C-alpha cells in the first residue's frame, strides 16, 4: 500500500498542535510540525478564546506541514474541547469572541434553566452530565443578558465547527461535539426541539448535523494559495477531542475502560447505545463517539489543578516544570488530605493554592505545606475519584472492568498512573500520549478508505505505539480514604495537623 498522509489540528484548552500522520499500510508515524499556546483572554469580567489568533496558528500549521515536506497530505481534521461556541450573523461573520467555559456568566444559570425545564427532564432527553459549563447554560445566559445579540445570530457553531467553517466556508455541526452541548437528543441524533422551545431560543440557529468521517469540503482557494496546500479535503473527525482520543485507545474485547487524561479527566466505557435510565443518579454522560458508539463516561476535573498550581508558583518564584512538580509530589508525605476534584471552589479560582487550603480547612483536614504536598494531594485525590467513578460504571453497566487505558498528555505522569493502578486495583496501560491527534488521523484514514474499520485502526495503533504497564500495589489506605459528599469526608484514616 502506498504511503498516505493526514494532518490533525488538535486544539486543547492550554495549547494546540498540528501533527502529520504518516500511514504505510501497517503502522502510523506521527510528526509534530507546529505547537502553539492557547490562552484565555480576560476582557473586563469576561473570559474569551482568541479565535482569530488560533486560526492564524492553524494556517501556520498548514504552511509548516508543506515546508517540512508534507505538501502531499490527503486531508485535514480539527478537534477541540467541548461546549464552547461562536455566533455568526446572516453574512457569516462572527458576532463576538467565543466565551470560554470557565467564564462566570454561567454562575447560577443552571437554576434559572431548571425554572423552565427541570434537570431530570433535561437529563432524560440528552443523557448528558449536568455541569454549569455546558452549552445549554451558556446559551441561556446570553438569552437573559444580551437577547439583542442572540437575535442577531443566524448560526451557532461549536469551536471545531467554527474552524472548519473558516477553512471551507461550510457550516456543519459534527455529531460528537454537538453531543457535549446538552441540547441534543442521542435517540434521534438531532438537536432537541423542546429544549430550544423552553429556553425561548430558535432551533434554526443550529447547523445541520454530520457524522464523523464526513467530508465537509475543500480548503477555500485563498487559504490553499496562502498555505501551499491544493485540493485538500477537510474532514469532520471526532471533533470533540475526547471522541478522537477514545477512537485511538488500543484495546480489544469488552473488559476495558478509558481515561482521557489532560486538563479534564474523562473516564468511561464505549457502549452501543446511550445508557440514560441507569445513569441519572450518578450524573454520567452519554456523548457521541466515533463509529456510531456512545461514550458513557464521567467528566471530572483533571490536571487543571497542576496547571494552576504551576502558574501560581511560577508567578512568585523560579520556573518549575511539570516533571519537577511530579518529582516533588513523589517525595512528599502521603495522604495529607483528600479533596473532591469537582467542588465548585476549584472550577476557576483566582489562586489554586488558596482554594485547596480553604477546602482542607472547610473539611477539617490537614493542610498541605510544601509544593510536593499540594501536588500529591491533587494526584491522590484524582486517583480516588477514578476509583469511585469506575465502581459506579461497573454497577450501572453491569460489567467487570479489568483494564484501564490512560491516553493523552496526562498518560506521561507516571506517579498519577501508578496511584491510579493502586487505587482502582486495575491493570493500567498508559499511552499513546498524542491519542487525540492519532484518533483524528484514524478517522481521516477510514474516511479515505485507507483503513477499513475502527477495530482495525486500534490494532494498528497497538502495533505502532508501545504502551507502559502499571500493576496495582496493595495499600489498604485506598479503601478508607473515600468521599461521601463534596463537603464531607469519611473519618477513616484522616489526618489532622
Mean pLDDT is lowest, of 289-298, 348-357, 434-443, 481-490, for 481-490
Mean pLDDT of 273-279: 77
Q: Are residues 231 and 261 in the same domain?
A: no
The pTM of the full predicted model, rounded to 2 decimals, is 0.89
CA distance 12 to 1: 33
The answer, yes or no, to whether residue 86 has pLDDT greater than 90, is yes
Same domain, 127 and 198: yes
CA distance 339 to 343: 8
Say what the pLDDT of residue 112 is: 98
pLDDT at 485: 38
Q: How does strand 294-301 pair with strand 264-271?
A: antiparallel
Beta strands per DSSP E along 73-226: 75-79, 85-88, 155-158, 173-174, 184-185, 190-191, 209-210, 214-218
Domain for residue 224, yes or no?
yes
Percentage of the chain lying above the pLDDT 90 cut? 88
Q: Is residue 481 part of a domain?
A: yes
Q: Residue 491: count other Cβ atoms within 10 Å of its Cβ.
A: 9
Is 462 within the bounds of a domain?
no
Q: Which of 468, 474, 465 is nearest to 414 (CA)?
A: 468
Whether residues 137 and 262 fall in one domain: no
Domain-located, residue 64: yes
| pLDDT(492) > 80 | no
Domain identity same for 133 and 227? yes
Is residue 246 situated within a structural domain? no
pLDDT at 477 over 80: no
Range list of β-strands (E), 240-390: 256-261, 264-271, 285-288, 294-301
* Size of the chain in residues: 497
Same domain, 46 and 87: yes
Closest among 100, 102, 105, 101 to 141, alpha carbons compared: 105
Span 386-421, pLDDT tens digits: 999 999 999 888 889 999 999 999 999 999 999 999
Any domain includes 460: no
**Distance (Å, rounded) from C-alpha 40 to C-alpha 453?**
37
Same domain, 145 and 272: no
> What's residue 482's pLDDT?
58
Number of domains in the chain: 2
* Domain end among 209, 241, 273: 241
Strand order in the sheet with 233-236: 28-37, 15-23, 4-11, 75-79, 233-236, 214-218
Percent of the chain with pLDDT over 70: 95
User: According to DSSP H, which parts of 228-321 are helical?
Assistant: 241-247, 304-316
- Residue 351 is among the residues annotated as catalytic for this protein: no
Residue 441 lies inside a defined structural domain of this protein: no
Mark whether 342 and 386 lie in a shared domain. yes
Specify whether 139 is located in the same domain as 15.
Answer: yes
Give me the mean pLDDT over the 185-202 stretch.
Answer: 97
Residues 292 and 183 in one domain: no
Which CATH number belongs to the domain containing residue 289 in this structure? 3.30.420.40
Is the predicted pLDDT of residue 318 greater than 80, yes or no? no
Of 218, 241, 264, the domain-final residue: 241
pLDDT of residue 276: 82
Instruction: Please give the pLDDT value at position 496.
Output: 35
From CA 229, how far away is CA 135, in angstroms rounded?
A: 34
Residues 147 and 98 in one domain: yes
Q: Which of 103, 233, 241, 343 is catalytic?
A: 241
pLDDT of 348 higher than 60: yes
Helices assigned H by DSSP within 127-248: 135-145, 147-151, 159-168, 175-178, 193-199, 221-227, 241-247
* Domain membership of residue 230 as a residue range: 4-241
* Same domain? 56 vs 188: yes
Is there a domain that residue 446 lies in? Answer: no
Out of 241, 275, 299, pick the residue that ends a domain. 241
Residues 166 and 314 in one domain: no
Which cell goes with 85? Answer: 461556541
Amino acid at each position: 500500500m502506498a504511503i498516505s498522509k493526514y494532518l490533525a489540528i488538535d486544539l486543547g484548552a492550554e495549547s494546540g498542535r498540528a501533527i502529520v500522520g504518516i500511514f504505510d499500510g501497517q503502522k502510523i508515524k506521527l510528526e509534530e510540525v507546529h505547537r502553539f499556546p492557547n490562552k484565555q483572554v480576560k476582557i473586563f469580567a469576561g473570559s474569551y478564546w482568541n479565535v482569530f489568533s488560533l486560526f492564524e496558528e492553524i494556517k501556520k500549521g498548514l504552511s509548516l506541514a508543506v515546508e517540512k515536506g508534507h505538501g502531499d497530505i490527503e486531508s485535514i481534521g480539527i478537534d477541540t474541547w467541548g461546549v464552547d461556541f461562536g455566533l455568526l450573523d446572516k453574512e457569516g461573520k462572527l458576532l463576538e469572541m467565543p466565551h470560554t467555559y470557565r467564564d462566570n456568566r454561567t454562575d447560577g444559570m443552571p437554576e434559572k434553566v431548571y425554572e423552565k425545564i427541570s434537570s431530570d427532564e433535561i437529563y432524560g432527553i440528552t443523557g448528558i452530565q449536568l455541569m454549569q459549563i455546558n452549552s445549554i447554560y451558556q446559551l441561556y445566559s446570553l438569552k437573559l443578558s444580551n437577547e439583542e445579540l442572540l437575535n442577531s445570530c443566524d448560526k451557532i457553531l461549536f469551536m471545531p465547527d467554527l474552524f472548519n467553517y473558516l477553512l471551507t466556508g461550510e457550516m456543519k455541526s459534527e455529531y460528537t461535539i454537538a453531543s457535549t452541548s446538552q441540547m441534543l437528543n442521542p435517540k434521534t441524533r438531532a438537536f432537541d426541539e423542546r429544549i430550544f422551545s423552553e429556553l425561548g431560543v430558535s432551533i434554526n440557529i443550529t447547523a445541520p448535523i454530520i457524522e464523523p468521517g464526513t467530508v465537509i469540503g475543500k480548503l477555500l482557494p485563498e487559504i490553499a494559495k496562502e498555505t501551499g496546500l491544493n485540493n485538500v479535503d477537510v474532514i469532520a473527525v471526532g471533533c470533540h477531542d475526547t471522541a478522537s482520543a477514545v477512537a485511538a485507545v488500543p484495546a480489544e474485547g469488552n473488559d476495558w475502560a478509558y481515561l482521557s487524561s489532560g486538563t479534564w479527566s474523562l473516564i468511561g466505557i464505549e457502549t452501543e447505545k446511550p445508557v440514560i435510565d441507569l445513569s441519572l443518579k450518578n450524573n454520567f454522560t452519554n456523548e457521541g463517539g466515533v463509529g456510531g458508539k456512545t461514550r458513557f463516561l464521567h467528566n471530572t476535573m483533571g490536571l487543571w489543578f497542576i496547571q494552576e498550581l504551576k502558574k501560581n508558583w511560577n508567578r512568585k518564584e523560579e520556573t518549575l516544570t511539570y516533571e519537577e512538580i511530579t518529582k516533588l509530589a513523589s517525595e512528599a508525605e502521603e495522604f495529607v488530605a483528600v479533596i473532591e476534584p469537582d467542588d465548585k471552589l476549584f472550577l476557576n479560582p483566582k489562586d489554586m493554592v488558596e482554594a485547596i487550603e480553604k477546602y482542607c480547612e472547610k473539611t477539617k483536614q490537614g493542610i498541605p505545606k510544601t509544593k510536593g504536598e499540594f501536588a500529591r494531594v491533587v494526584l491522590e485525590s484524582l486517583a480516588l475519584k477514578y476509583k469511585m467513578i469506575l465502581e459506579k460504571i461497573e454497577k450501572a453497566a453491569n460489567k467487570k472492568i479489568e483494564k484501564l487505558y490512560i491516553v493523552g498528555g496526562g498518560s506521561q505522569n507516571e506517579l498519577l498512573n501508578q496511584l491510579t493502578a493502586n487505587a482502582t486495583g486495575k491493570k493500567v496501560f498508559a499511552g499513546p500520549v498524542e491519542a487525540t491527534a492519532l484518533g483524528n488521523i484514524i478517522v481521516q484514514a477510514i474516511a479515505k478508505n485507507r483503513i477499513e474499520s475502527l477495530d482495525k485502526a486500534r490494532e494498528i495503533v497497538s502495533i505502532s505505539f508501545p504502551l507502559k504497564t502499571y500493576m496495582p500495589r496493595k495499600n489498604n489506605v485506598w479503601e478508607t480514604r473515600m468521599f461521601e459528599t463534596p463537603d464531607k469526608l469519611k473519618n477513616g484514616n484522616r489526618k489532622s495537623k
